[in-house]
Amino acid sequence: MAILLNQNQELNLKERFFNLNFVFIIILSILAGIGCMTLYSAAGGRITPWALNQGIRFCMGLGVMVVAAMIRPEFYYKIATPFYLFTLFLLLVVDVAGHTGMGAQRWINLGFFKLQPSELMKLAIVLQLARYFSNCTYEEIRSIKGIIVPIIIVAVPVAFIMIQPDLGTSLMVLFCATALFYLAGVQWWKFGIAIGGVAAAAPILWHFLHDYQKNRILTFLDPERDPQGAGYHIIQAKIALGSGGAWGKGFLSGTQSHLNFLPEKHTDFIFTMFSEEFGMAGGIVILFLNLILISYGYWFAFRIHPSNYFGKMVILGLNTNYFLYVFINIAMVIGLLPVVGIPLPLISYGGTVIISVMASFGIIQSFYVNRDRELKK
């Protein structure tokens, strides 16, 4: 009985801080360090304009993560629905602004910070779905009726993001949501029907894609189609990567990157730049460190209190989100997926992504910090 009481006891701030998983934090710091180092090389051996900025942002991100981790998990449960609706509202604002002659925008300018509602939605949708599924019975989840509401929860923001237009993010949200549906226990055959339906609708969807999106897909399928235009990025990225070989050309010595043949070398294509200088060995290090981070995510989900179904769902959802970032980015720069403009989190230059990824790590840690007690709904 004493043990049970202990399990439900609230932890004080100090206890919560020392309950953080520090190995996890060290690994993501190593990845951020690799990012800064690569940005230093991308700038031709200077800490400006990118490496220093990125370091500062990562430190801010660390702060955000710790704060998010110190917040009690109950808070996330409580704000899930209002947060989701608020984010949906922001998406609508951006869409309407974009369609009333103010130009296609994906962000709201807050002066010091450009807020991307679609970025927030990745988080909001995970929280909202987790909350929904945690309150459903097993039977409800297995029934058709039970998945109509979550389908709407997903479909509306995905549609909003799609018309921004931001194909990459909307697909990421969709994949992440699909993973949560699957984890909740939705039957295989329902996925089969959904996939079949999408396949049947694909020609119609193709018709609705913007020309640049069609181009990206066509160019991905055949980069030589337009070697000076859209295919240039993929071809040059492959040359950078391939010429790096097993061990790379050495730090600060990537010819493709330093002579500017490699496009977007400090943002989306940073993995290619790193692999040119450090070869396949370097690439495997990045993949391996990310795999450890993801494995930790699964371990956290497994480890927290069995009654905290919401927490497990949130951890798995955010973890899948992170995995999708890493996988899609690397797959696209090495020519396995179309170039859809997804950065490599922790390494690519860019403030929004680093803060949002660190915030999601903070939420994951929040559940892990309170791993031994029940969630008080």
Residues contributing to the site for other proteins (CB under 8 A): 137-139, 141, 179, 182-185, 236, 238-246, 255-256, 258-261, 275, 279-280, 283-284, 287, 290-291, 294-295, 298, 301-302, 306, 309, 312-313, 316, 320, 323, 327, 330-331, 334-336
Q: Which residues contact 162 (CB under 8 A, 6 or more apart)?
A: 170
**Cβ-based nearer residue to other proteins, 148 or 336:** 336
- Residues listed for the chain: 377
**Cβ-based nearer residue to other proteins, 162 or 330:** 330
Is 343 in contact with 268 (CB distance < 8 Å)? yes
Measured from the Cβ of residue 93, the count of other Cβ atoms closer than 10 Å reads 13
Q: How far is the CB of 286 from other proteins (least distance, A)?
A: 10
CA-to-CA separations, 140 to 30, 121, 175, 178, 204, in angstroms, rounded: 43, 25, 22, 17, 33
Q: How far is the CB of 183 from other proteins (least distance, A)?
A: 5
**Cβ-based nearer residue to other proteins, 116 or 320:** 320
Q: How far is the CB of 263 from other proteins (least distance, A)?
A: 9
**Cβ-based nearer residue to other proteins, 49 or 185:** 185
Q: How far is the CB of 145 from other proteins (least distance, A)?
A: 17
Half-sphere exposure of 326 (CA within 13 A, CB side): 22
**Cβ-based nearer residue to other proteins, 57 or 265:** 265
Q: How far is the CB of 75 from other proteins (least distance, A)?
A: 23
Q: How far is the CB of 184 from other proteins (least distance, A)?
A: 7
Q: How far is the CB of 182 from other proteins (least distance, A)?
A: 6
Q: How far is the CB of 230 from other proteins (least distance, A)?
A: 16
Q: Which of 98, 96, 90 has the alpha carbon at shortest distance from 118?
A: 90
Half-sphere exposure of 76 (CA within 13 A, CB side): 33
Token pair in block for residue 372: 């031994």
CA-based R_g, the chain, Å: 21
Q: Which of 268, 360, 282 has the alpha carbon at shortest distance from 323?
A: 360
Angstrom distance (rounded) from CA 329 to CA 347: 11
Half-sphere exposure of 92 (CA within 13 A, CB side): 7
Residue 128: strand, helix, or coil: helix
**Cβ-based nearer residue to other proteins, 168 or 283:** 283
Q: Report how far Cα 62 is from the mean position of its chain's Cα atoms.
A: 17
Measured from the Cβ of residue 284, the count of other Cβ atoms closer than 10 Å reads 13
Angstrom distance (rounded) from CA 309 to CA 375: 9
**Cβ-based nearer residue to other proteins, 117 or 279:** 279
Q: How far is the CB of 287 from other proteins (least distance, A)?
A: 6
**Cβ-based nearer residue to other proteins, 203 or 306:** 306
**Cβ-based nearer residue to other proteins, 80 or 94:** 80
CA-to-CA separations, 261 to 225, 232, 254, in angstroms, rounded: 18, 9, 10
Token pair in block for residue 76: 């996330």
